[in-house]
Structure 1
């Protein structure tokens, strides 16, 4: 079990791993020791032994094998009263669909590299941040020579328009001379997410998610190809 826990900016992940193969658990331990924001608290070869541990300890994330002798990983998730974030680890690709139907964070095919493992952990860390971050309720937006108070809960989405950013509200549009990175720096990350080089959307205003777009206030907004992985983050953070 790794000991060096160095969370980034006060945010980190506690985790356990469950797998009936000791060698597979050893791989998770080796990888986890190299991820600075991840603390692997315990490992289990018997899934049933992990249940009381999860009941008694606050755990953010479980690395969970799917095909185990006494209970499958999918069955294990179903019997938990309170489910942490799950990353499935397995050598059997046919279980992937069932895994994602349970809103798993990710699905790691054995043998997986440190880079792939870290990518899955980064996704879990981002979801935890979206759920837990404390946020203000408004911003002041410079529009021309004035600064207007804008309630964050009124913002539907934000769109780049040339040298300006258009803030789309229920009954009006506000233009501010900014670039998209400046907008992102002033918005709370647990309420807004960038899904395209030109679009930022309010998470709590998303009505529907399709394979390449999201719907906000009846408007379909495309998800950029380089942002498609954000869709799983959105689903986990808003429960769609």
Structure 2
């Protein structure tokens, strides 16, 4: 069983804190380590406990989240959660993983978590890289190495895997934004393919397993150039 990411929520707003706790509970590879209502509580908590990720509000009494982070030694990975967009530059200068604006949709929260794992900010083995997508009213783990190709249909996608197909009510553009570009390639307005699963290709289509997937006219020159570079 993979070790789960231990999360600390630091937010003085009970409703915002409850939302983040609920999101953590819905994603299998996350576990709640604790909650704090201000930076002083968070500092005391981190003196005693080790966490992998802190979800940190900015506007809190006594000490702001950014001041807390700037003075924190051996800081864990941090995702900012705030109602204020004005501090994004300061946040990224402090090497935060992501900057989420309230109210935070679960899809945006998931994208931040996937950024954490996909970019190997945590020691995630390459062969164990994965994403979570909502399917059948639950969050389903999709191993990246199992993906053959993804088909976009209006507001949902079909993820074609080695042994099954998963349907998720998500836009193809969202999948394109979270999947690692060195391993996945968008070849059509309706298709993303796994580069390692390509058996052959022409200027018109790419073969993945037994499926011939068309290369879109607007994508052709970029796709063929990337495939040529990938070969070398």
Write the deviation string for residues 89-145 of structure 1: whole angstroms up to 9, x where unpaired. 00010111111111110011000111111111111223456646499xxxxxxxxxx
Distance in 2 between the 1:119 and 1:57 partners?
26
If asked which structure has higher relative contact order (CA below 8 Å, sep 6+), I would say: 1
Q: Which residue of 1 aligns with 2:11?
A: 19
SS at match of 1:107: strand
Q: What runs of 5+ residues in structure 2 fail to find an aligned partner?
A: 128-181, 183-193, 199-224
Which residue of structure 2 aligns with residue 79 of structure 1? 71
Q: Find the aligned partners of 1:122 and 1:72 in 2 and give their Cα distance.
A: 26
Name which of 34, 53, 58 aligns with 2:45. Answer: 53
Q: 1:111 to 1:69 in 2, by over 3 A?
A: same
* Structure 1 residues 44 and 134: alpha-carbon distance in aligned structure 2, compared to 1, 3 A threshold: same
Q: How does 1:127-206 map to 2 (within 5 A)?
A: 127-128=119-120, 131=123, 133=125, 180-181=195-196, 197-198=226-227
For residue 124 of structure 1, what is the aligned residue in structure 2?
A: 116
Residue 34 (structure 1) aligned to one of 26, 29, 38 = 26
Q: Tell me the secondary structure at the aligned position of residue 33 of structure 1.
A: helix
Q: Using the alignment, how far apart are the partners of 2:226 and 2:28 within structure 1?
A: 29
Pair 1:119–1:50, CA change in 2 (3 A) = same
1:110 aligns with 2:110: no
Displacement of 1:49: 1.2
Shift of 1:26: 0.6
CA distance in 1, matches of 2:62, 2:196: 50
Distance (whole Å) between structure 1 residues aligned to residue 59 and residue 112 of structure 2: 20
* Offset at residue 46 of structure 1 (A): 2.1
Q: How many residues align?
A: 138
Distance 1:53 1:39 in 2: 16
- Change beyond 3 A, Cα 1:68–1:41: same
> Does the Cα contact within 8 Å between 1:11 and 1:129 map onto a contact in 2?
no
Say which SS state the counterpart of residue 26 (structure 2) adopts: coil
2:60 is aligned to 68
The structure 1 segments of at least 4 consecutive aligned residues displaced by more than 3 Å after TM superposition are 127-135, 196-200
